[in-house]
Amino acid sequence: MKIRKKLKIASKQGLHARPASMFVETANKFISKVTVIKGDIVVDGKSILNILTLGVEYKDEIIIEVEGEDSQEAIDSLGSIILKENV
């Protein structure tokens, strides 16, 4: 099953260093394929370098796309990281 979710970055740090690391660490706990989309750029959500190359800032909108047998649990967990204000 494929699930897409559009989210606005809540952390004033954006999706850099520590929050990106937390995102990737969480993504790698799941079997599902994780993709992150910002504008026209599509990257593997399980790669810290790919996430950092997006340059996601505070209040930017991204789309998380998860496909696989544990997709709902994965997108819920990843969404909670994006929506935390103090990561």
Give the pLDDT confidence score for residue 78 in this predicted structure: 96
Which domains does the chain possess?
Answer: 2-82 (3.30.1340.10)
Active site residues: 16
Rounded Cα distance between 80 and 10, Å, is 10
Give the pLDDT confidence score for residue 86 in this predicted structure: 65
Rounded Cα distance between 10 and 60, Å, is 9
pTM: 0.93
What b/e string do you get for 12-30 counting C-beta neighbours within 10 Å, with b at 16 or more? ebbbbeebbeebbebbeeb
Which phi and psi (to 5°) does residue 61 adopt? -105, 135
Quick: pLDDT tens for 13-63.
898 889 999 999 999 999 999 999 999 999 999 999 999 999 999 999 999
Give the pLDDT confidence score for residue 32 in this predicted structure: 98
Confidence check: pLDDT of 87 > 60: no
